[in-house]
A and B are shown apart, each in its own frame.
Chain A
Amino acid sequence: MRRWFRALLVLSLAAPFLAACDGSAKPPSHLSRGPGKPAYGDSLVEGTIGEPSNLVPILASDSASFDVAALVYNGLLKYDKNLNLVGDLAQSWDISPDGLVITFHLRRGVKWHDGGDFTSRDVLFTYHVTIDPKTPTAYAEDFKQVQKAEAPDLFTFRVTYGRPFAPALASWGMPILPAHLLEGKDITKSPLSRNPVGTGPYRFKEWVAGQKVILESFHSYFEGRPFIDRYVYRIIPDPSTMYMELKAGGLDMMSLTPVQFRRQTETPEFTSRFNKYRYPSSTYVYLGYNLRNPLFIDKRVRQAITSAISKDEIIQGALLGMGQAAHGPYKPGTWQYNSTVKDLVFNPEKARTLLAEAGWKRGSDGMLVKDGRPFRFTVLTNQGNEQRLKTAQIIQQRLKKIGIHVKIRVLEWSSFITHFIDKRNFEAVILAWTITQDPDIYDVWHSTKTGPKELNFINFKNAEVDRLIEEGRRTFDREKRKKCYYRIQEILAEEQPYTFLYVPDALPVVSARFRGIEPAPAGISYNFIRWYVPKEEQVHP
Chain B
Amino acid sequence: MVGSSKAVQVVLHIVMIALSLFCLLPFILLIVSSVTSEQTLIQNGYSFFTTDIDLAAYRYLLVDSGTIVRGYLISAGTTVVGTTLNVIVTLLFAYALSRKDLPGRAFLSFFLFFTMLFNGGLVPSYMMWTQVFGIKNTFAALVVPNLLMGAFYVIMMRTYFNTNIPDAVIEAGRIDGASEVRILIQLVLPMSLPIIATIALLVGLGYWNDWLNGLYYISNDRFYGIQVILNRMLLDTLFIKNNASTTLGSQLAIAVPTTAVKMAVATLGAIPVLIAYPFFQRYFVKGITIGAVKG
Q: Do A and B bind each other?
A: no
